[in-house]
């Protein structure tokens, strides 16, 4: 009996030790390729936390959707499958319209305006996430979103029937209003989707196109500066509550540094990646005046639809942003 009791006790202690050890290692799923600047910033954040906590918490990044596909990352963090992760929150706009604040067409079309919009929205988004058992750590904007096409496009009429990669409600609605056919495609699947003809166009930054070498399938990139969406790094709030105050302060410091450096890199990466698209053989430049005017009219429709869906909280975000202009 003593031997059996000892064995059970040893087994229990081993299990507890295993859980404690697993709690110290934070696997961090990320949707974009390791070469993408968001993933690079995430890797530096992970190293900062690991070093800053003296190894108490080891953050290990898993880029390219290798641990969870992008659409599953937020849920995985909420339910404790992983303690931390990065996600494009506008991908969950169908869950809560407020998540789409950074994908309102032609509302914030520059980095300065995107920063102001984030300042206006941050308290609300932080609270929405908190209500979902998520603690926001940092957010980094993408470069301005442009339109990619296989063939030349000079007006909205030219877009009719084109298969368009969508990744959130805003992109699906943009496709519908321009007569394109939305096809949901995760970031990790972009290259294959274009190569096989599943899609022939998308709205995204020069960064995404450069990382996925879309010049192998597409020929045109139009700089319309539609919006600057953000990637967000979040931690499970139950896990966060178990972190010591000292280590929480370290993580916040690393998060602040990541947000600053990530934003700087996004700005620097904009010109670099657009030149990369040119070097790959793509035609890169502004859209025609006609196309811009038609897209802005569509943007007004989408803005009004978002405001209706987001209610008073959404209106307060937009009003606060406009007051900063």
Q: What is the pLDDT of residues 162-219, one digit of tens each?
A: 999 998 899 999 999 999 999 999 888 999 999 999 999 999 999 999 999 999 999 9
- Residue 187: per-residue pLDDT: 84
12 in a domain, yes or no?
A: no
| 44/113 same-domain check | yes
101 in a domain, yes or no?
A: yes
| 96/41 same-domain check | yes
| 84/176 same-domain check | no
| 53/110 same-domain check | yes
202 in a domain, yes or no?
A: yes
Say which residue the tokens 């500066």 belong to.
Answer: 225
What CATH number is attached to the domain comprising 181? 3.40.190.170
| 172/195 same-domain check | yes
Q: Residue 75 sits in which domain range? A: 25-142+229-273
| 97/35 same-domain check | yes
Residues 10-41 have pLDDT tens digits of 333 333 333 333 348 999 999 999 999 999 99
Domain count, the chain: 2
| 79/158 same-domain check | no
| 175/257 same-domain check | no
pLDDT over 90 (residue 4): no
**Half-sphere exposure for 262 (CA within 13 Å, toward CB):** 26
Signed CA dihedral, 151, 210, 171, 192: sign only: positive
38 in a domain, yes or no?
A: yes
Say which residue the tokens 């620097």 belong to.
Answer: 268
pTM of the model: 0.87
Please measure the distance between the N-terminal and C-terminal CA atoms of the chain and give it in whole angstroms: 76
Residues 89-134 have pLDDT tens digits of 999 999 999 999 999 999 999 999 999 999 999 999 999 999 999 9
| 124/243 same-domain check | yes
278 in a domain, yes or no?
A: no
18 in a domain, yes or no?
A: no
When pLDDT is cut at 50, 70 and 90, the band that residue 7 belongs to is: very low
Say which residue the tokens 């406009």 belong to.
Answer: 322
Percentage of the chain surpassing pLDDT 90?
90
CA distance 239 to 192: 37
| 156/181 same-domain check | yes
6 in a domain, yes or no?
A: no
CA distance 176 to 158: 14
120: exposed, middle or buried (Cβ count in 10 Å: 0-12, 13-18, 19+): buried
Backbone angles phi, psi at 163, to 5 degrees: -80, 120
Strand locations in 194-255 (E):
201-204, 220-223, 230-236
| 239/135 same-domain check | yes
16 in a domain, yes or no?
A: no
| 301/189 same-domain check | yes
């Amino acid at each position: 009996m003593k031997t059996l009791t000892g064995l059970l006790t040893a087994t229990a202690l081993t299990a507890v030790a295993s859980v404690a050890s697993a709690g110290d290692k934070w696997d961090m799923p990320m949707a974009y390729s390791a070469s993408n600047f968001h993933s690079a910033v995430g890797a530096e954040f992970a190293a900062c936390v690991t070093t800053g906590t003296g190894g108490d918490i080891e953050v290990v990044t898993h880029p390219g959707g290798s641990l969870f596909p992008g659409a599953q990352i937020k849920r995985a963090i909420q339910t404790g499958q992983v303690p931390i992760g990065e996600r494009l929150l506008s991908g969950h706009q169908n869950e809560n319209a407020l998540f789409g604040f950074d994908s309102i067409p032609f509302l914030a079309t520059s980095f300065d305006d995107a920063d102001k919009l984030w300042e206006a929205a941050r308290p609300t988004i932080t609270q929405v996430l908190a209500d979902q058992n998520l603690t926001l750590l940092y957010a980094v904007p993408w470069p301005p979103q442009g339109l990619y096409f296989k063939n030349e496009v000079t007006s909205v009429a030219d877009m009719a029937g084109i298969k368009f990669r969508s990744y959130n409600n805003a992109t699906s609605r943009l496709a519908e209003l321009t007569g394109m056919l939305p096809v949901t495609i995760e970031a990790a699947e972009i290259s294959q989707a274009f190569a096989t003809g599943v899609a022939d166009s998308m709205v995204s930054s020069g960064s995404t196109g450069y990382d996925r070498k879309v010049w192998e399938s597409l020929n045109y990139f139009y700089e319309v500066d539609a919006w600057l969406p953000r990637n967000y790094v979040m931690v499970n709030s139950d896990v966060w509550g178990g972190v010591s105050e000292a280590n929480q302060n370290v993580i916040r410091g690393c998060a602040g540094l990541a947000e600053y450096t990530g934003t700087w890199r996004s700005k620097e990466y904009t010109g670099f990646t657009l030149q990369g698209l040119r070097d790959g053989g793509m035609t890169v430049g502004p859209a025609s005046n006609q196309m811009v005017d038609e897209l802005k009219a569509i943007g007004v429709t989408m803005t009004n639809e978002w405001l209706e869906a987001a209610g008073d909280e959404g209106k307060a975000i937009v009003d606060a942003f406009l007051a900063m202009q």
